[in-house]
Amino acid sequence: MAEESGQEKTEEPTPKRLKDAKEKGDIARSKELATTVSLLAAAFGALMLGETAANVMMDMMSYNFALDRQSVFDPNLMFQHLGHSLREGMMSVALFFLIMLVAAFVGPLGLGGWNLSGKALMPKGSRINPFSGIKRMFSLKALLELFKALAKFLVVGVLSFFILDNVKEALFALGAQDIRTAMAGATDIVLWAFVAMSATMILIAVVDVPFQIHDYSKKLKMTMQEVKDEMKNTEGKPEVKGRIRQLQREISQRQMMSAVPEADVVITNPTHFAVALKYDQERGHAPIMVAKGGDFLALKIREIAEANDVTVLSSPALARAIYYSTEIDDEIPAGLFKAVAEVLAYVYQLKRHKKKEGPAPQRLSDRLPIPEELRRDETD
């Protein structure tokens, strides 16, 4: 699509694009990392178990070649030798194969992790199309793979030369030793050389892993149009989005209405606006607006407040000021502290009077101190 529209792929892949790619089996992979893990596991496994395996093999050879004439012509005894040799041989390499099996499973976890994708197993015509194969052979990726192969050859080759040059005297000395000592020395040289050459693959993996991550991210990059199309398809049709927003508003309103019975006072316009305030004396912060609404919603707030014995006061200027300056669950502005404090003081005195614990409060002032910048006209 980028080619058709002329747009460049400049946008990072979205979570949906990454998820779709993973479902298709397309994830960042580094063959060099998996190979390095397997080689290092094989090298250290052989280093730990190689001497034991070599001794077992020598014992097997001695056991099978030290036969008398009668044993050679006895089929039952020959099968006995074969079974013993197979059992000993398998036991000597079983732990090594277990180490290799674990490495084969752990290696891919280093980059990309395990990814079981049925779509990746589906047959594709492009895989057996000779023209697609030729195109892949002469692609930039194939050229990079060729350079990596040459780099591995050079690194391993150079290191092998230095290793052989370093141990040549020890190798020549093996011919003057008895068979067991010579085999033990040769095994030791070969195993340590294998460890050193396997370790060189770390250099290849360190370069390959960041490259594969960069190449994978670049391959999945998107154009602006692709991002817009995805958002459109993800969010759906306008009527569906409208329905979702309506449901969200309904849920929000229900949550808001459930907080009205816990409010200390509801201040009204008296009919167009209503705001419910709650003051937590233990926290000691400013009063919080727990609900607000206009017209029909304001009427519902009043009804719920009256049904739950929450004081409802009419103060048009203050109701409008709070309604326009404060969001739900937010503290009221500092400029309204004094006016709201007078309202709350009146409410608390009124509650004590109803409980016959104090005198009737004086009438609430019609001219509460509201800053000019927070005032709103009735036409707003």
C-beta separation of 347 from 265 below 8 A: yes
Which of 57-61, 284-288, 343-347 has the highest mean predicted lDDT (pLDDT)?
343-347
d(CA 117, CA 233): 24
Average pLDDT for 355-377: 79
Domain boundaries defined on the chain: 8-231, 259-374
d(CA 256, CA 263): 11
What's the pLDDT score for residue 124?
57
What's the pLDDT score for residue 371?
86
Q: pLDDT by residue (tens digit) across 263-322?
A: 888 988 877 889 999 887 776 678 888 888 888 888 888 888 888 888 888 888 888 888
Of 131 and 255, which is predicted with more confidence? 255
199: amino acid identity, one letter: A
pLDDT at 149 over 60: yes
What's the pLDDT score for residue 113?
65
* The length of the chain, given as a count of residues: 380
DSSP state at residue 293: E
d(CA 225, CA 45): 53
353: amino acid identity, one letter: H
Average pLDDT for 338-367: 82
Predicted model pTM: 0.47
Average pLDDT for 20-46: 82
Question: Which CATH code fits 259-374?
Answer: 3.40.1690.10
C-beta separation of 260 from 266 below 8 A: yes
Which are the contacts of 120, defined by CB distance < 8 A and separation ≥ 6? 24, 25, 26
Name the phi and psi angles at 313, rounded to 5: -120, 145
d(CA 290, CA 277): 6
| Strands (DSSP E) found in the chain | 265-268, 273-278, 288-294, 311-314
d(CA 354, CA 360): 8
What's the pLDDT score for residue 122?
57
pLDDT at 247 over 80: no
The candidate with the shortest Cα–Cα distance to 32, out of 213, 247, 209, is 209
Q: pLDDT by residue (tens digit) across 62-100?
A: 777 777 777 667 777 778 778 888 888 888 888 888 988
pLDDT at 1 over 50: no
d(CA 48, CA 41): 10
How confident is the prediction for the chain on average, in pLDDT? 79
Average pLDDT for 134-140: 66
Contacts 24+ apart (CB under 8 A), 254-259: 256/290, 256/291, 256/292, 256/293, 256/328, 257/291, 257/300, 257/301, 257/304, 259/290, 259/291
